[in-house]
Chain A
Amino acid sequence: MDTTILGLPLIYYAAMILKVLVVFVFVLLTVAYATYAERKIIGHMQVRLGPMRTGWHGLLQPIADGVKLFFKEEIVPAQASKFTFLIAPLIALIPAFISFAVIPFGDTVELFGYKIPLQIASVYDTQAGRVLDLNVGVLYILAMASLGVYGIVLAGWSSNNKYSLLGGLRSSAQMISYELAAGLAIVSVFMLSESLSLQKIVADQSNFFSWSGTWYAFKQPLAFILFFICSLAEINRTPFDLPEAESELVSGFCTEYSSMKYAMFFMAEYANMVTVCAVTVTLFLGGWHGPLHPVLNFIVKVYFLIFVCMWIRATYPRYRYDQLMRLGWKVFLPLTLLNIVVTGIVIAAFS
């Protein structure tokens, strides 16, 4: 291992490509089967069966859906702003996927005598003997989450359709309001961990049974619940799916989209859900720590949170727009600020 590129051995690059591929395929498969799981779970919660015909118990349904959308006609409205219209689905989709770059999904594994941390944007520093990752990982995730809103706003604006525009406007207002509350909710976690690095935050939650090393969900229960709800609002999941509101906005920003462009928005929505669940697991539910294999722990926790998202969708009706704004600004924001103040006082009192 003498050859190095930019001071790093070749195996680092090979491992990096492998990690990216594995994570990408994993997220893509999860997205595909999240659509299936959602239909099944909501179906059973409504005492129906959900998809049953394509494959055994409808297991091939996501593939059938994908093929169907792929072969549909691409329609660009005559008066649409064409370039923006075409680029918007990509702007929505890409941030949803690249947030995964900083999420640690397992312990360090050793391959040919070279230690590889199971987190894409990280490297094992042999001199210091520890994992180096992006030291502002959480900020990166928040930044990517706010980039995602551009896709939806641009889609709504460029469609040249009043419903789309209203959907886009709603989503921008909603995402910006809730981003604030979500960002403030996790500030209390940083106050405890004294770091923005996700490796450090996960390492802090390594011991479930001792108070010093338990999950942040137990130390910051309010922040945990607020962050999860705000995240749902930020990624336009029910009960906060106002931008697409079928009943009033004829599916909002994606009214004019068809075929693969529509599929991209659909994938972005579910990829966002996976990302948000992964972030919540990393910040509050101990990341990959747990009784099983590290990667399995992580996957089980993420899938559980995805189930909770679907459970919530099956249970609650959609919020009204003014109620949504009131909830965001008048309830969640003061609560998160209060949480920060109380956390600060407690930390100062015990240090």
Chain B
Amino acid sequence: MIKPLLQGLKITLTHLFKKPVTLQYPTERPQIEARFRGLHALKVAHSSAKCVACYLCPTVCPAKCITVEAGEDAQHNKYAEKYEIDMLRCIFCGYCVEACPVDALKMTGEFELANYKRSDFVFTKERLLEK
């Protein structure tokens, strides 16, 4: 009965001298991995979004957070007139990126998405465009 009690004390004492795993968050930043799924970004090619408004991403989206409306540009090409992602509903599963046939969508390492108004969580096409 005494031995396990002493073993417990030994374990806590050895832990006392271990290096703490704490990340002091706002000052110390976490290392974002390449495959991290954060905020979405619409890829840009020839100074416009690559998206062709095929509706595959809203179709595959399990949280139904993507709204796309197609339009026609001067060259009679289909493009996304409206592209919105509601970040309050998004579950960051990345299915939209997988579904995209023209590789127009990606997920960035951006994870600090807090905001003051609910309407600020609906990311419009302008805010989503790759910087």
Contacts and interface: CB of A to CB of B under 8 A. Distances in A.
B74 interface: no
B13 A44 contact: no
A46 B9 contact: no
A46 B8 contact: no
B16 interface: yes
Q: A-side binding surface: helix, strand, loop or mixed?
A: helix
B12 A45 contact: yes
Contact of A47 (B8, B9, B20): B20
B16 A49 contact: no
A52 interface: yes
Given A49-B22, A49-B24, A52-B24, A44 B5 contact: no
Given A41-B16, A311-B12, A311-B13, A47 B5 contact: no
A314 interface: yes
Nearest to B15: A45
Contacts, number: 35
A45 B22 contact: no
A316 B1 CA distance: 13
B12 A315 contact: yes
B114 interface: no
Nearest to A41: B16
B22 A314 contact: no
B20 A48 contact: yes
A48 B12 CA distance: 12
Interface string A47-91: 111001000000000000000000000000000000000000000
B3 interface: no
Interface residues of B, number: 14
A221 interface: no
A41 B20 CA distance: 12
Contact of B20 (A49, A311, A314, A315): A49
Contacts of B21: 47-48
A52 B18 CA distance: 17
A344 interface: no
A232 to B, nearest CB: 13
Contact of B9 (A44, A48, A52, A315): A315
Among B5, B12, B13, B20, residue most surrounded by chain A Cβ atoms (within 10 Å): B12
Nearest to A43: B20
Contacts of B24: 49, 52
B22 A316 contact: no
A312 B22 CA distance: 23
A52 B23 CA distance: 11
A52 B16 CA distance: 16
A307 to B, nearest CB: 10
A316 B15 CA distance: 14
B15 A47 contact: yes
A6 B43 CA distance: 93
Given A41-B16, A311-B13, A48 B8 contact: no
29 contacts: A41-B16, A43-B20, A44-B15, A44-B16, A44-B18, A45-B12, A45-B13, A45-B15, A46-B15, A47-B15, A47-B18, A47-B20, A47-B21, A48-B20, A48-B22, A49-B20, A49-B22, A49-B24, A52-B22, A52-B24, A311-B9, A311-B12, A311-B13, A312-B9, A314-B12, A315-B8, A315-B9, A315-B12, A316-B8
